[in-house]
């Protein structure tokens, strides 16, 4: 398991459009996911211990952000041939088992991960209403083990700030996780 940290936030970077199939049987474009108060796109996968350690917090924060008018989606870009746990069928199972309230998208050819410069799982991209990047930090102080139950909700707080002001916090701690599993 290679530990990876994404780069710091490139404020204002404009998110590239995409259209991807989801585990709910639909296909979604970024414009369909975007919320009136911003958008959160998360690169996750089914097997990463960093994702699994916080998946309940991801689901909680996604639900709360959606209630605040922030669109949310997760994307799995890992090479499913080399990592069968990340297959589309297993993505479907995970979305149901975890009660995802957001689309879980499959980036089978990894073009979206490359266009977005996704580095690890989890990797969070917090966009304002104009789809400009305002947050590229971590969920909270968790690593491969969950942080204390009262850990500051860094991602949630940043996204709420973006919803109110259009701007993310200047100080951000990068996420940490397993590298994206690129196809050979």
Q: How far apart are CA 136 and CA 42, in angstroms?
A: 10
Question: Does the pLDDT of residue 163 top 70, yes or no?
Answer: yes
Catalogue all structural domains in the chain, each as residue range(s) with its CATH number.
3-179 (3.40.30.10)
Question: Does the pLDDT of residue 148 top 60, yes or no?
Answer: yes
pLDDT at 35: 98
Q: Are 162 and 134 in contact (CB under 8 A)?
A: yes
What does DSSP assign to residue 138?
A: -
Single pTM value for the model: 0.95
> For residue range 65-120, what is the model confidence (pLDDT) as tens digits?
999 999 999 999 999 999 999 999 999 999 999 999 999 999 999 999 999 999 99
Which residues make Cβ contacts (< 8 Å) with residue 16, sequence separation at least 6? 30, 112, 115, 116
Spatial CA neighbour of 15 closest among 45, 43, 41, 44: 41
Quote the mean pLDDT of the chain. 95
pLDDT at 3: 64
Q: Model confidence at 144, in pLDDT bands (50, 70, 90)?
A: confident
Spatial CA neighbour of 100 closest among 140, 45, 67, 63: 63
């Amino acid at each position: 398991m290679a530990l990876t940290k994404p780069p710091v936030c490139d404020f204002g970077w404009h998110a590239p459009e995409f259209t991807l199939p989801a585990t709910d049987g639909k296909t979604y474009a970024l414009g369909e996911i975007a919320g009136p108060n911003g958008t959160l796109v998360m690169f996750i996968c089914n097997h990463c211990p960093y994702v699994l350690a916080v998946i309940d917090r991801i689901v909680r924060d996604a639900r709360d952000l959606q209630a605040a008018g922030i669109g949310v989606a997760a994307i799995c870009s890992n090479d499913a041939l080399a990592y069968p746990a990340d297959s589309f069928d297993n993505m479907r199972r995970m979305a149901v088992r975890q009660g995802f309230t957001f689309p879980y998208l499959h980036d089978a050819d990894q073009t979206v991960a490359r266009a977005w410069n996704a580095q690890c799982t989890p990797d969070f991209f917090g966009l304002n209403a104009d789809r400009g990047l305002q947050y590229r930090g971590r969920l909270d102080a968790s690593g491969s083990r969950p942080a204390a139950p009262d850990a500051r909700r860094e991602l949630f707080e940043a996204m709420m700030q973006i919803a109110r002001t259009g701007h993310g916090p200047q100080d951000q701690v990068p996420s940490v996780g397993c590298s994206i599993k690129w196809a050979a």
